[in-house]
Structure 1
């Protein structure tokens, strides 16, 4: 794990409130019962059914969802969420008057960066991944495994770039991955998403977040020099592009500096 620099972020909350609706979704667990939302498809419904701009899972039974302004009906949204998990609270918040942790608000904005597949971003259940075709292990036009960089921002506003590997479910024993979420990856479009529980998908097309060989680990160099192409394939080059994308695409909502 490499920590880059601490981020100094200045938000334009008026513009964020103008252009987006932010909901906080939570549920109080029954006494003595431990549960969390992360392993449930309820986290995926906002993006897949309601076309949410961004989802950020925080901890336990709380997460945030951001939509383009006035694009979702609160009561219909709440109804669908509660059909998946009963007695869930869904509340729209006004960030001009209600508190939201800075790292959560920053991640909501980071996660709306769009993917063009050839070395850009994909947002899955609140996680932002940087993907690159060069990191894909293809054999006979089949993609057995691939890795990407997860962009993380902790509560102290430290940005982290962690390598994450996905591989086909068929390579693993069921007992080793029984609690791992299932993912679907479309090699043509570059779309990676969580599989919904009611989807019937061929096992050969399902991926889990796990290496085929637990003794081998994918790595991405922190720094490469020699050509500009090599630089943009290393962590510092990716970080440089990420900062440029924030500056260009999110300039109305935030200013980010090291």
Structure 2
């Protein structure tokens, strides 16, 4: 049995200025996306300016979509009672599914500005995403949030600020699966020319499947608990469309030229 290391969420305190680990994870996420994108930008037909724009638009989509998605998917009743909570970002709360929808919408904005084909943009972007997701899960772990369900596995971890039970370190499961493993699969798969939206389909399917599985080890949100069939969590429910759409994009008949 392991014990949560109780890491100070503040990395550096400079007078009134506090740099949090979670903020650093966002910086690492966007920096890694830019670095990876720069390695393939030329081959994909992106100039340095266009690469900067697609990362910038994507970052806006992640932040705005992630916050809006969290409020609508996980705090809808509280939002109805107090719409102002949408702006209280300092209280925390981001949703991957909302952030992903934000990136999808920001891609449309980018396409209109630079006159790319939408599938070309999305297939270029999605391999850049998983390492950032992994950084976010590391931030969740350092912050001691989104812990797992009780377990008797030898790697079970006690989160003292929660209770005295050994729990799945589900944040680390997601770091490994949606961060490192999904990145490796997408990076290798996208190294060769693929039919339009094949790479995007693999991302949707891969993320959706791992999220659906990890949710069995992750503690459900206390205010939502199970949202369907007495066992399905909100995260699983939101991931099902990703699995279905991803599978469709992978098996549909289309040529490399689209």
- TM bucket, shorter chain: under 0.3
The TM-score normalised by the length of structure 2 is 0.24
When you count helix as a share of all residues, which structure comes out higher? 2
The TM-score normalised by the length of structure 1 is 0.24
When you count strand as a share of all residues, which structure comes out higher? 1
